[in-house]
């Protein structure tokens, strides 16, 4: 997820925790998409069986994670992954297989892994890595005394301006908690303010697991490189720095080099299985292809990208002819703020009214519980058309949880009023791996991945075959929906920062 892949999550603003089911099962009332006829229901069920028993998601994820490796947006590995996915869609026999380029302000890749240590009161190594889209440290590294900022707010930065100047500023989970709800753009603005007040560097101690730099996120909006060298510090090191600071001055140094290229074309990968009717309507089955680089992005989001390919493979293998077109999209730049899907939605705005639904997966391989529906009761009712099939997969639930309303690639569709669905799974395992060196293929559970891919395939095909397409929300309705699920401030923040 972005901000999870969800950058807000990456930056630790949202504590992992149990989500609450908003409804145990879809409503009993009539589905707004109508009832599947027997032949369509049989096709949906065959597809689910194919994905469960002979699905290719596990093998696709192995190829992405182990053979291609980490896939930072615009990197050589990302290009390789986009080429590989393109060739695979072609080999499977899909139509209109192509790549759609968009431009990122800058690509970013570590040139060296970081070195870092405490210099005083005693010498000790620190576990630290550069944050995403941070500039390199100056030659010789950043060296200075540490100042702990206890609240990441504009007021606190200004009130502490004298202490921040020429210091290395440390933030941790408590500093963010003290700031209250911070949207993505506002968070990055406040971090930029720390740099503007003359800090030499920024240490983010947001990790919740053992001493690894763990919570990579971007440090600047819209794919641009930030101005202040910013690093993630391991949890135990952060706690040590806090304890040492309680007893006197602490001096640290850190050093890393990052390679930046400006104005780079990045490709989304698109392929279709054409629908049989002439309405021009389509459903999107998507996920992000990019990942962070400390691990291999097997769970964030190798599982999602692999599920997209696996659904395409299973539909082709079963000779299924959907009523509406199935459009498969692998996005880049998700981790930098949904950049690939934002560009996609802009480029396809003229045909957005034909989009009968978007189905995204981005939370790794855990047993699916159902779908995030972001406050749309009509989506819950529409899912009622396939209650027996979703029940058999253990995934008949829905949640209105709003924290993830803009955390992955459905967001740019949701703001167009498109019926938007994100696979809903537990998150405990995911957040233990997400953006960390431990996000590797050995963590992927084949059964759970197949279950997730089956839920995606079954639901997307049911919406493609349904007698009616779901209606789109008007902008006013969409904004009301976001208020209802407490996601309106994040939407406003993204608009303010020219993301939407
Ligand atoms: Zn992700």
Residue-wise pLDDT tens digits, 161-182: 999 999 999 999 999 999 988 8
Round to whole Å and give the CA distance between 116 and 256: 9
From the CA of 408, how far away is ligand 1's center (Å)? 7
* Shared-domain flag, residues 16 and 95: yes
Strand 370-372 relative to strand 258-273: parallel, antiparallel, unpaired?
unpaired
Q: How far apart are alpha carbons 473 and 419 in whole angstroms?
A: 8
Q: Which pLDDT tens digits describe the chain residue by residue (500 residues)?
A: 654 333 433 333 333 333 334 444 444 567 899 999 999 999 999 999 999 999 999 999 999 999 999 999 999 999 999 999 999 999 999 999 999 999 999 999 999 889 999 999 999 999 999 999 999 999 999 999 999 999 999 999 999 999 999 999 999 999 999 998 888 888 889 999 999 999 999 999 987 766 765 666 788 888 999 999 999 999 999 999 999 999 999 999 999 999 999 999 999 999 999 999 989 999 999 999 999 999 999 999 999 999 999 999 999 999 999 999 999 999 999 999 999 999 999 999 999 999 999 999 999 999 999 999 999 999 999 999 999 999 999 999 999 999 889 999 999 999 999 999 999 999 999 988 889 889 999 999 999 999 999 999 999 999 999 999 999 999 999 999 999 999 999 999 999 988 88
Q: How far is the CA of 1 from the centre of ligand 1 (A)?
A: 3
Residues 118, 76 share a domain:
no
* Distance (Å) from CA 6 to ligand 1 centroid: 6
Q: Are 58 and 50 in contact (CB under 8 A)?
A: no
Query: In terms of Cα–Cα distance, which of 94, 49, 61 is closest to 458?
Result: 49
CA 334 / ligand 1 centre spacing (Å)? 7
* 406 and 421 inside one domain: yes
Residue 403 pLDDT:
87
**Residue 409 C-alpha to ligand 1 middle, in angstroms?**
9
C-beta separation of 181 from 487 below 8 A: no
Of 197, 221, 256, the last residue of a domain is: 256
Kindly state whether residues 30 and 99 are assigned to the same domain. Answer: yes
- Among 235, 256, 277, identify where a domain stops: 256
**What are the DSSP calls for 127-155, one per residue?**
-EEEPBTPPPPPTT-EEEEEEE-S--SHH
CA dihedral 336, 332, 298, 127 (to 10 degrees): -30
Q: Which of the listed residues 222, 256, 290 is the one where a domain comes to its end?
A: 256
Distance 253 CA to ligand 1 centre (A): 31
Tell me: do 305 and 207 sit in the same domain. no
Distance 288 CA to ligand 1 centre (A): 7
Helices 38-54, 446-465: crossing angle, 10 deg rounding: 160
Q: State the distance from the centre of ligand 1 to the C-alpha of 120, rounded, in angstroms.
A: 38
Q: What pLDDT shows up at residue 17?
A: 34
The count of domains in the chain is 2
Cβ atoms < 10 Å from Cβ of 320:
20
CATH code, domain with 338:
3.40.630.10
CB 300 within 8 A of CB 444: no
The position carrying tokens 């104005």 is 263
Task: Give the three-state DSSP class for 225.
Answer: coil
Residue 390: other Cβ atoms inside 10 A: 27
State in Å: Cα 36 to ligand 1 middle: 32
Residues 314 and 409 in one domain: yes
Residues 66 and 184 reside in one and the same domain: no
CA distance 338 to 222: 9
Q: Ligand 1 centroid to 268 CA: how many Å?
A: 15
Structural domain including 304 reads 3-107+262-496
- Same domain, yes or no, for 165 and 267? no
Please indicate, yes or no, whether residues 330 and 447 belong to a single structural domain of this protein: yes
Take residue 488 and report the two structure tokens written for it: 């309106």
pLDDT tens-digit readout, 171-219: 999 999 999 888 888 888 999 999 999 999 999 998 776 676 566 678 8
Task: Provide the whole-model pTM.
Answer: 0.93
Distances (CA, A) of 94 to 45, 137, 271: 21, 46, 6
Q: Ligand 1: distance of its center to the CA of 338 in Å?
A: 10
Q: How many Å lie between the centroid of ligand 1 and the Cα of residue 37?
A: 35
341 and 194 within one domain: no
Residue 79 burial (10 A CB sphere; 0-12, 13-18, 19+): middle
CA proximity to 258, closest of 229, 281, 299, 220: 229
**How many Å lie between the centroid of ligand 1 and the Cα of residue 279?**
32
CATH code for the domain in which residue 249 is found:
3.50.30.30
Q: Give the per-residue pLDDT at 22.
A: 47
Both 156 and 228 in one domain: the answer is yes
* Residues 249 and 270 grouped into a single domain: no
């Amino acid at each position: 997820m972005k901000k999870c892949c969800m950058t807000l999550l990456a930056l630790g603003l949202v504590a992992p925790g149990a989500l609450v089911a908003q409804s145990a099962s879809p409503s009993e009332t009539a589905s707004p998409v109508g009832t599947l006829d027997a032949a369509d229901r049989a096709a949906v069920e065959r597809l689910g069986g194919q994905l469960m028993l002979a699905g290719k998601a596990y093998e696709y994820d192995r190829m992405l994670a182990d053979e291609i490796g980490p896939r930072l947006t615009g990197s050589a590995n990302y290009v390789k992954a986009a080429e590989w996915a393109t060739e695979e869609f072609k080999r499977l026999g899909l139509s209109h297989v192509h790549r759609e380029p968009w431009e990122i302000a800058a690509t970013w890749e570590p040139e060296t892994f970081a070195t870092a240590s405490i210099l005083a009161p005693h010498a000790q190594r620190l576990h630290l890595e550069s944050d995403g889209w941070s500039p390199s440290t100056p030659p010789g590294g950043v060296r200075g005394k540490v100042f702990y900022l206890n609240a990441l707010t504009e007021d606190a930065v200004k009130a502490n301006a004298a202490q921040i100047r020429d210091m290395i500023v440390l933030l941790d989970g408590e500093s963010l908690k003290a700031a209250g709800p911070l949207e993505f753009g506002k968070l990055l603005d406040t971090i930029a303010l720390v740099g503007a007040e003359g800090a030499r560097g920024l240490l983010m101690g947001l990790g919740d697991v053992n001493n690894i730099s763990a919570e990579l996120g971007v440090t600047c909006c819209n794919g641009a490189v930030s101005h202040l060298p910013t690093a993630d510090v391991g949890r135990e090191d952060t706690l040590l720095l806090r304890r040492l600071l309680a007893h006197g001055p602490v001096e640290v140094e850190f050093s890393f080099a990052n390679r930046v290229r400006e104005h780079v074309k990045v490709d989304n990968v698109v392929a279709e299985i054409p629908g049989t009717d002439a309405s021009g309507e389509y459903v999107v089955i998507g996920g992000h292809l990019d990942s962070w680089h400390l691990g291999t992005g097997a769970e964030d989001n190798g599982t999602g990208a692999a599920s997209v390919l696996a659904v395409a493979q299973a539909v082709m293998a079963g000779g299924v002819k959907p009523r509406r077109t199935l459009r498969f999209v692998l996005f880049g730049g998700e981790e930098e703020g949904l950049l690939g899907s934002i560009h996609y939605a802009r480029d396809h705005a003229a045909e957005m009214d034909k989009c009968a639904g978007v189905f995204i997966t981005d939370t790794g391989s855990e047993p699916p519980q159902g779908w995030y529906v972001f406050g749309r009761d009509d989506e819950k009712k529409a899912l009622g058309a396939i209650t027996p099939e979703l029940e058999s997969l253990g995934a008949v639930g829905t949640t209105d949880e709003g924290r993830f309303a803009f955390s992955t690639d459905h967001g740019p569709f949701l703001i167009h009023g498109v019926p938007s669905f994100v696979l809903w799974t537990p998150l405990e395992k995911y957040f233990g791996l997400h953006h960390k060196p431990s996000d590797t293929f050995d963590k992927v559970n084949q059964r759970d991945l197949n279950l997730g891919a089956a839920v995606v395939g079954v639901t997307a095909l049911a919406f493609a075959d349904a007698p009616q397409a779901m209606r789109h929300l008007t902008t006013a309705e969409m904004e009301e929906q976001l208020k209802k699920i407490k996601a309106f401030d994040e939407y406003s923040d993204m608009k303010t920062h020219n993301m939407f």
